[in-house]
Amino acid sequence: MRGTRRGTATDRRLMLNGRRIAGAAAAVVVITVISKILGFGREAALAAVFGASGATDAYLVAMIIPSLLFGVVGTTITTVGIPLFAEYIHDPARRRELAGLLWSTFHGIVVFLGLVVLVAWLLTPWLVRLMAPGFEGEQAQLTVLLVRVLLPAAVFMGLAGWAQGVLNAHQRFTAPAAMGIPYNVIIIAAILLSGRWWGIEGVAVATLLGIAAQFLIQLPTFRRLGLSYRPLFDLGHPGLRRMLLLAGPVIIGVGANQLNVIVDRMLASGLAEGSISALNYAQKALGLPVGLFALPLVTVLYSSLSRHNVVGDAAAFRETLARGLSVLGFLMIPMTVGLIVLRADFVRFLFQRGAFDDADAAMTGTAVLFYSLGILFIVWWDYLNRTFYALQDTATPMWTGLAAVAVNIGLNLALVRVMGLGGLALASSAAALVGFGLILWRLRRRLGRIGGRRLAIETGKVCLAAGLMGLAVWRANEALAAGAWGLLAEQLVQALGGGALGDFAAAGVKLIGLIAFGGLVYTVLCRLLRVREMALVWELGRSVLGRLAGANRQAG
């Protein structure tokens, strides 16, 4: 009886913690849904206007340099800053020193990235030759021009990461989640205009403006928190010195991960034209479900882990860690199966219109297949990295990340010769598995038991349910193809006036129907198998629907 009462108390504590997580994540999910829909519109517009072309390849390669700088600086500030800022926020004795830390960090980012951008601008032709050795002639010259247009974006990327870290440490998630909205709106408008008048150069200018907007949209929340601008730049601030010490391993680890992107695009530049674009479109396609469901949850969980560590609540830390792994598995495993089964329909719905033809869809579908195999491990790996960051241990993620990068590059060089584009995607998935396995081993040694047996049992149930769901969806898709769907789709296309809009609507209706059917099958199977995480996900869904309903009432 005593064991039963203890188990019931634990379950209640987990449920209350889950409800808090669900409530905090709900607002992020709502904003993220809007942002991801616009992001889909951005990628669809880019595919429709420019296709998987040499110009698109040049633009994507040009984005590597500012993205690399953001990955190294902006992501470092966000990951290192959240637990450190939280420490100064929750410790009354240090609260008075918070402003000095925040604004000294702000000015340090501006100065450092400004100098790096200046040096990179001077070295642009050599950097392009290094990143895309397969580019020649006009394509190489266009890439140099685009890099120079986009380079100042690195400063705003760094500042956007800084602002996100500050706000997340204050338990403010809405404004950082909304960063993608102005970014996507500006770029979509530019793509639609550039296709007729300005070309890919106009898209690059709009990208710069959109990235600047990602930082600016977060500033009103600073004012509401009372964090007004202060002209402070104290290089001797103890918090800044500590941040620099913690940041070193993160810079190496994150920079090594960015090296994977560079190597992928370097090798893809020697494959068929459009290969770089196909990899990009596949990554964006996978980013849609990951960004909608995993990223908001990981963002809230990371802030919770940081807070639990600051106040010394080890039990809550372990509970949040274990619950996060379990919920992420519950969400990502069926998505992986669904993407593999429906990859052709998914790519067709997202991108196939305008200049994006059957050949582009085939290349992108191949990349989606092999990238999908690593989705769960990428999400789990990112979450465990953040767990160590919450513990203010930045060295462990660095070493495990470097090992995974070595695996990725080695597999890239081996598989690209045999599998081409698919080999590059498969290498990324295999490296994610290695990275997750290594960091899980290190975490287990540091924390002791972290609920691994329960996680394995729950994951096994989820895999069984997802596998049966995938089989049911595959059979349903085959039945539609062999049945009356062709006639219904043709009628729908004609009802909408034919053309691209009708094809898009028909593909959307079919895909949404199959996803809904798969979701229903998965839910029923999880209920039958008594998967524990159903309750938390249900609570999250109720919170999201409640916020959407509230937004509709206010709009009315």
Q: For residue 414, what are its two tokens?
A: 């081996």
pTM over cut 0.85 = no
Residue 14: predicted pLDDT: 45
Question: Please, what is the Cα angle at 486 between 485 and 490, to 5 degrees?
Answer: 115
Residue 1 has pLDDT above 60, yes or no: no
Give the pLDDT band of residue 492 (cuts 50, 70, 90).
low
Nearest CA among 295, 234, 325 for reference residue 536: 325
Give the pLDDT band of residue 10 (cuts 50, 70, 90).
very low
Q: For residue 212, what are its two tokens?
A: 């600047």
Nearest CA among 379, 369, 364, 281 for reference residue 331: 379
Residue 551 has pLDDT above 60, yes or no: no
Q: Say how many Å lie between the first and final Cα of the chain, rounded.
A: 53
Give the pLDDT band of residue 516 (cuts 50, 70, 90).
very high
Residue 534: predicted pLDDT: 75
User: What's the mean pLDDT in 67-83?
Assistant: 72
Q: Residues 6 or more apart from 155 whose CB is under 8 A from it?
A: 109, 110, 113, 114, 117
Residue 133 has pLDDT above 80, yes or no: no
Residue 171 is given by DSSP the state T
- Domain extents in the chain: 11-27+271-551, 51-266
Q: For residue 68, what are its two tokens?
A: 């690399």
Residues 376, 286 contacting (CB under 8 angstroms): no
Residue 440 has pLDDT above 90, yes or no: yes
The C-alpha atoms of residue 427 and residue 407 are separated, in whole angstroms, by: 8
Q: Which helix or strand (DSSP H or E) is residue 353 part of?
A: none
User: Can you say whether residue 50 is alpha, beta or left, with left for phi > 0 and alpha for psi between -120 and 50 degrees?
Assistant: alpha
Across the chain, what does the average pLDDT equal?
Answer: 80
Residue 304 has pLDDT above 70, yes or no: yes
The C-alpha atoms of residue 477 and residue 483 are separated, in whole angstroms, by: 10
Higher pLDDT, 62 or 500: 62
Residue 481 has pLDDT above 80, yes or no: no
Residue 73 is given by DSSP the state I
Give the pLDDT band of residue 439 (cuts 50, 70, 90).
very high
Q: Scanning the structure block, which residue is given the tokens 């290969």?
A: 275
User: Can you say whether residue 136 is alpha, beta or left, with left for phi > 0 and alpha for psi between -120 and 50 degrees?
Assistant: beta
Work out whether the CA dihedral 150, 155, 161, 163 comes out positive or negative.
negative
Question: Angle 314-341/499-529 helices, nearest 10 degrees?
Answer: 130
Residues 28, 299 contacting (CB under 8 angstroms): yes
Residue 243 has pLDDT above 60, yes or no: yes
Q: What is the DSSP string of 180-223?
A: HHHHHHHHHHHHHHHTTTTTHHHHHHHHHHHHHHHHHTTHHHHH
The C-alpha atoms of residue 239 and residue 356 are separated, in whole angstroms, by: 50
| pLDDT tens-digit readout, 260-286 | 777 877 788 778 777 888 888 888 888
Residue 461 has pLDDT above 90, yes or no: yes
Residue 199 has pLDDT above 50, yes or no: yes
Greatest extent of the chain over all pairs of C-alpha atoms, in Å:
78
Residue 554 has pLDDT above 50, yes or no: no
> For 133-153, b where at least 16 C-beta lie within 10 A, e where not — what string?
ebbeeebbebbbbbbbbbbbb
Q: For residue 15, what are its two tokens?
A: 């449920």
Residues 451, 324 contacting (CB under 8 angstroms): no
Other residues' Cβ atoms within 10 Å of the Cβ of residue 379? 25
Give the pLDDT band of residue 494 (cuts 50, 70, 90).
low
Q: Residues 6 or more apart from 40 whose CB is under 8 A from it?
A: 288, 350
Residue 508 has pLDDT above 80, yes or no: no
Higher pLDDT, 53 or 98: 98
Residue 19: predicted pLDDT: 52
Instruction: Please state which of the ranges 29-38, 206-215, 498-507 shows the lowest mean pLDDT.
Output: 498-507
Residue 15: predicted pLDDT: 46
Residue 12 has pLDDT above 50, yes or no: no
Residue 394 has pLDDT above 50, yes or no: yes
Q: Which helix or strand (DSSP H or E) is residue 255 part of?
A: helix 238-268
Residues 45, 191 contacting (CB under 8 angstroms): yes
Residue 335: predicted pLDDT: 92
Residue 406 has pLDDT above 50, yes or no: yes
Percent above pLDDT 70 for the chain: 83
Q: Which helix or strand (DSSP H or E) is residue 135 part of?
A: none
Residues 47, 353 contacting (CB under 8 angstroms): yes
Higher pLDDT, 455 or 484: 455
User: What's the mean pLDDT in 333-355?
Assistant: 85
Residues 424, 416 contacting (CB under 8 angstroms): yes
Q: Residues 6 or more apart from 330 whose CB is under 8 A from it?
A: 458, 462, 526, 531, 533, 534, 537
